[in-house]
Amino acid sequence: MEILSPEQLEQYFRDGFLVMEGFVDEASCDVLRTRAEELVSEFDPAGLVSIFSTHEQSRVTDDYFLTSADKIRFFFEEDAFNPDGTLIHAKERSINKIGHALHDLDPIFNRFSRDKKIQRLIEDIRIPDPRLIQSMYIFKQPSIGGEVTCHQDSTFLYTEPTDIAGLWFALEDATIENGCLWALPGGHRRGLKSRWRRNGRGGMHFEIFDASPWPENELVPLEVAKGSLVLLHGLIPHRSLANKSPRSRHAYTLHVINGSSHYPEDNWLQLSTSMPSRGF
Ligand code: FE2
């Protein structure tokens, strides 16, 4: 049984993204929110100085990030710290995201991520041999939720061919005010602008294919209700702005690749041989 109507399928391949209201029921959203809360409460941030930055410079040097592919790790908002390195707010109000193997390592996120409905959706968009490669729980904290600058997911999860998809589940209402997604309709047909590659010295660098700036004023906001799924083509340019509002904007994201495509050894995300990528 198909999940997408022919019109939705056409829309996805035309626009490079598709909003599906009510894909997940509210109770399932709350199960993930509660589980994320538990994971954060069990997490001891003492001694951890890794600050997840949405600006590439500090991410490049962040070994904690680069070895998180097959782990459950916690990354802070850039603006979470006082000048002396202490947290301004409570731990649970300071975390930018949890990544990147919740879907494999946590039973609750595993169950959510490997739901039959998601599997059928991926079949509809014709990704063969689908593998769940990456998951993130994104908090977009009130007041300090950082901006994610315009990018294509294939820059970070590069495959040949570039047949990957991102699934973005709104666990709370996402509005312009609290930092919803923005996307460039049809932008997936403009080609890949860059690749983020390991440089062989423990760091990363961008290989630039097209240095022209993003047409930021052509991106459209995707304001969606809790329970919505935004399906994103790997080449669609998208961003989210900072959350200056008093409301959080929790989301769960999942990335699916074609297990038969070429996955380069210099992509940042490398799974260990003991934990290879798995499908549904
Ligand atoms: Fe993205």
- pLDDT (tens, 9 = 90+) of the chain, 280 residues, equals 699 999 999 999 999 999 999 999 999 999 999 999 999 999 988 756 444 444 444 544 478 889 999 999 999 888 888 877 778 899 999 999 999 999 999 999 999 999 999 999 999 999 999 999 999 999 999 999 999 999 999 999 999 999 999 999 999 999 999 999 999 999 999 999 999 999 998 888 999 999 999 999 999 999 999 999 999 999 999 999 999 999 999 999 999 999 999 999 999 999 988 889 999 9
Give burial (CB, 10 Å; 0-12/13-18/19+) of 63: exposed
Residue recorded with tokens 């990018």 = 151
204 and 198 Cβ atoms separated by less than 8 Å: yes
The amino acid sitting at 245 is S
CA–CA distance, 234 with 253 (Å, rounded to integer) = 13
CATH superfamily entry for domain 6-258: q2cbj1_9rhob like domain (2.60.120.620)
- Of residues 170, 112, 102, 167, the one with CA closest to residue 135: 102
User: What are the distances in angstroms from CA 272 to CA 28, 163, 233?
Assistant: 30, 22, 26
Q: How far is the CA of 176 from the centre of ligand 1 (A)?
A: 17
> How many Cβ atoms sit within 10 Å of the Cβ of residue 209?
11
Measured in angstroms, how far is the CA atom of residue 118 from the centroid of ligand 1?
19
Radius of gyration of the chain (CA): 18
Q: From ligand 1's centre to the CA of 38, what distance in Å?
A: 25
Distance 84 CA to ligand 1 centre (A): 31
CA of residue 206 to ligand 1 center, whole Å: 16
